[in-house]
């Protein structure tokens, strides 16, 4: 599948030298920088793909927080999910590099391409929201920056 939209939607971000890499025929990965009030920086991988769902072009924007484990209190995760503005917290299966099937906690958003083309600012807000909430959950539950 050739990308129809992402290169033009993120052209300004590519030009600014942000760490956005083509990782396979379906996905770009943005190592998104988050600045905190104390002056510290953390980074969060945000994956952006183009998909077709119900004959509509969409952007699938997501960030893996961690594999699901007992360290992640499911009830508290549901409470924290209310802080997501344009995204949602979900549990989904994925395959690790070694072939192991696991469930991971993700922040994600499916955005119709039509909306992204009309409002690039909203697209960037969604990418930020995905990165920010994933990092906040990672920091709160795991105390790490994976």
Task: Work out the pLDDT band at 87, boundaries 50, 70, 90.
Answer: confident
Q: Could you tell me the sign of the dihedral formed by the alpha carbons of 132, 138, 144, 146, in that order?
A: negative
Span 35-57, mean pLDDT? 92
Task: Work out the pLDDT band at 34, boundaries 50, 70, 90.
Answer: very high
Task: Work out the pLDDT band at 80, boundaries 50, 70, 90.
Answer: low
Q: Where do the DSSP E strands lie in the chain?
A: 20-24, 27-35, 41-53, 56-67, 88-95, 101-112
Taken in order of first residue, the domains within the chain and their CATH numbers are 6-142 (3.30.1460.10)
Span 129-144, mean pLDDT? 82
Q: Is pLDDT of 16 > 90?
A: yes
Summary mean pLDDT of the chain: 87
Q: What is the pTM of this model?
A: 0.87
């Amino acid at each position: 599948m050739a990308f129809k939209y992402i290169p033009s939607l993120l052209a300004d971000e590519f030009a600014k030298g942000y760490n956005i890499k083509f990782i396979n025929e379906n996905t770009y990965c943005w190592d998104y920088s988050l600045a905190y009030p104390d002056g510290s920086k953390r980074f969060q991988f945000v994956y952006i793909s183009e998909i077709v769902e119900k004959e509509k072009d969409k952007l699938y924007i997501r960030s893996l927080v961690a594999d699901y484990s007992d360290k992640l209190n499911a009830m508290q995760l549901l409470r924290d999910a209310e802080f997501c503005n344009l995204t949602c917290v979900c549990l989904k299966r994925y395959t690790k590099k070694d072939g192991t099937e696991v469930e991971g906690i993700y922040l994600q958003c499916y955005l119709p391409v039509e909306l992204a083309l009309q409002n690039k600012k909203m697209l960037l807000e969604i990418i930020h929201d995905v990165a920010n909430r994933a990092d906040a959950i990672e920091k709160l539950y795991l105390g790490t920056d994976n």
